[in-house]
Amino acid sequence: MLTLQIVPYAEISGLSSIGRIRKLLNIAKENKIVLLEGRLTKEEETELIKVTMEEINKNFRGIELAVLEPEQGDMGGLAKIRKGFANVLLGNRTGLTVIGPANVVKQIKKDPNKIQLLTQESRSRKKKKKK
């Protein structure tokens, strides 16, 4: 059974960087797919990869990660400044971050505006179809 856990940004906003990473990774290690409202900072994303590597063992093979961000192309200069300021104060609440344990999620395909999760089940179904 596939379990998705939605994490509102408010749940991690009060935590330190390592606290955020630990919280999200702990959920993924329970074989749940994390849907985080908003995104981590670039530095936190890198730290997430680093901590993931430190935790890999025979039961936990790592994560699949994808971040979906809203289009910013047509955003005006003032709107961009306002958004940057809000991000500094409140954290980046726009977009969506998906963290799937590699045992469950085999691949995340990402086009600019959509995310496709390829799970182990859908892969085996594909194989059966081919037969």
Partner 1 sequence: MIKLVKKFINKVLINIFQKKKHIKLGLYGPPNAGKTTLANRICQDWLGEDMGKVSNIAHETREIQIKEQISLKKDGKELSFNLVDTPGIATKIDYEDFMKVGMKEKAAKSRAKEATKGVIDSIKWLDEMDVVIVVLDATKDPYSQVNITIIGNLAARDIPVLVVGNKVDLKKANMKKVQAAFPQYELIGISAKYGKNVDEFYEALFVLAG
State the residues that interact with partner 1 by CB under 8 A: 41-43, 45-46, 49-50, 52-54, 56, 61-67, 102, 108-112
DSSP structure class, residue 110: E
Q: How far is the CB of 89 from partner 1 (least distance, A)?
A: 18
Nearest CB to partner 1, comparing residues 83 and 110: 110
Nearest CB to partner 1, comparing residues 14 and 43: 43
Nearest CB to partner 1, comparing residues 41 and 122: 41
Distances in Å between the Cα of 129 and the Cα atoms of 27, 96, 117, 118 are: 32, 32, 19, 15
Compute the distance between CA of residue 29 and CA of residue 52 in angstroms, rounded to an integer. Answer: 10
Q: How far is the CB of 15 from partner 1 (least distance, A)?
A: 20
Q: How far is the CB of 61 from partner 1 (least distance, A)?
A: 4
69's CB contacts (< 8 A; 6+ apart) are: 39, 94, 95
Nearest CB to partner 1, comparing residues 10 and 121: 121
The total number of residues written for the chain in this structure: 131
Q: How far is the CB of 66 from partner 1 (least distance, A)?
A: 5
Structure tokens at 84: 């940057």
Nearest CB to partner 1, comparing residues 89 and 111: 111
Compute the distance between CA of residue 113 and CA of residue 121 in angstroms, rounded to an integer. Answer: 24
Q: How far is the CB of 58 from partner 1 (least distance, A)?
A: 8
